[in-house]
Amino acid sequence: MRKLSLVLFIVLVLVTVLSAKIVIWSSENQIPALQKLAADFEKDYGIKVEIQQVNFGDIKSKFLTAAPAGEGPDIIVGAHDWVGELAKNGLLEPIPYLPDADKYYPVALSAFSYGGKLYGVPYTIESIGIIYNKDLVEEVPTTIAELEEMAKEISDDEIVGFVYDAGNFYFSFPFIAGYGGYIFKETENGLDVNDIGLNNEGAIKGASLIKKWFDEGLIPQGANYNLMDSLFKDGLAAFIINGPWATPWYRDAGIDYGIIPFSDIELEPGVTPKPFVGVQGFMINAKSRNKLEAIEFAVNYIGSFQGQLGMFLGERRGTARSDVFDYVAKDAGPELYDVLQFSKSASVGTPMPNVPEMASVWGAMGDALSIIINGQYTIENALNSAVEKIKTAIEE
């Protein structure tokens, strides 16, 4: 493993007599890889790392209770959209340095950044992509226009050429963001929640594309997640949009499917859809008495090439480091197909905003998409109304 400077190494050795151990709260999935890294760390520094299993859904709430009282773990595993709330409450320690930062996908580092500072060491990224039925699709489209044309040719009284949960902002965001729409403006100091780009020219263009699909009958009215999912499982849908959580069910249903990452399909020359990206990583408790040791373990052990490779091999989820992706992709077999394709999709995406103000976006944009799809208002009016709702909610 990569080591710190000699001075910092000596400091770590000296504090060993005062520091009993580093405690990590982790869900079950990360434990095997963490145990190997913990053994290496203890061998190098004589500092024990205790990994405590906590259900992933409970980590944040338990941490919010324990950390302010100076209790709880030194390190937690969590999602990047926890960062805004935890950092705002003074519960996360900024990561002061990250070796090989240029090897991480920029979207992964951006996801764990808040107020211009990095608050976590990312290790896995996840996104959605276009999934297609190989029995229905003979040639893989490389543009959205080609996908539209193929979907029209495939559609008949039984088969649906293209269907997805278009009224759900999460699934429609790639087309809005691909043309230049954005939720909160990215600045050097983090997201500017007062600068909302969901009604700009790009957002209108993306929403117009979605509306066109319904106006032309390409996507059936009333399309939702359950309809899309059941049609695809039954072999009755050619193209859908979904994520890695769904593909095991499609395999079990006997569907011979392929995945088109958003990196591999263009809205227009040089322009790809930009999906939301979810990132998970390791965050340091700002109230910890072992911050120096915790940072060393997170940065130079978990964050190393070997550490991240071990995490990937243990979980088989998209890696946050491009060099790990390249290494795995060289000899990847069919069992890693899904992981690698969704990782490619995530590489061109944008992290879901990690600020508390994001909570006001979902409902407003869901309503706007429903209005647009149903043709109740003009696209401009629907998006303008959504932005006003978001601004009002943020101000309250």
Please give the mean pLDDT across all residues of the chain.
Answer: 93
Contact 144, 265 (CB under 8 A): yes
Contact 282, 123 (CB under 8 A): yes
Structural domains in the chain, sorted by start:
6-126+277-351 (3.40.190.10), 129-274+354-395 (3.40.190.10)
Contacts of 214 (CB under 8 A, 6+ apart): 166, 221, 373
Burial of 14 (0-12, 13-18, 19+ CB in 10 A): exposed
pLDDT digits (tens, 9 = 90+) for 354-391: 998 999 999 999 999 999 999 988 999 999 999 999 99
Structure confidence by residue, pLDDT tens digits, 294-328? 999 999 999 999 999 999 998 889 999 999 999 99
End-to-end alpha carbon distance in the chain:
49
The CA-based angle 346-273-209, given to 5 degrees, is 150
AA letter at 276: F
The pTM for the full model equals: 0.87
